[in-house]
Amino acid sequence: MVSWTRIVLGVVALGLAVLIVGVTSCGTIVVTNEAELQTVRLGAPLPYIEQNQGILHDPWRTFPLVTRFWSPWENPTTVLWSSWLLDVSIVLLVVVVAFLATREASRRWGD
């Protein structure tokens, strides 16, 4: 039988993994030409958001250009769900391994 403590820790670890993956889409990316604005890919460790930022043409735009996630209402946006799920799985694995290593270290060296 699984204890409530393990269930709660699993839910917390999953929530932390989703939060970490979500925050990675808030970063910036450098675009070097107009064609790269057609498919800006955001997220880590694997990009899971694609956004077309070339829709609003600006003749005064200079490159290289530092861009980030913009409004999905103005820039067509696609979420690559398989990449997002793989990202969450990778981060969840790292979070669980870190938790287990911390717990083992505290057992060995005592509290």
Q: Answer whether residue 3 shows pLDDT above 90.
A: no
Assign 108 a pLDDT band (cuts: 50, 70, 90): confident
For the ranges 33-37, 47-51, 60-64, 107-111, the lowest mean pLDDT is seen at 107-111
Secondary structure (3-state) at 33: coil
Model's pTM, two decimal places?
0.83
Averaged pLDDT, 72-90:
94
CA 97 to chain centre: 19
DSSP H helices in the chain: 4-24, 81-109
Distance CA 32, CA 9 (A): 43
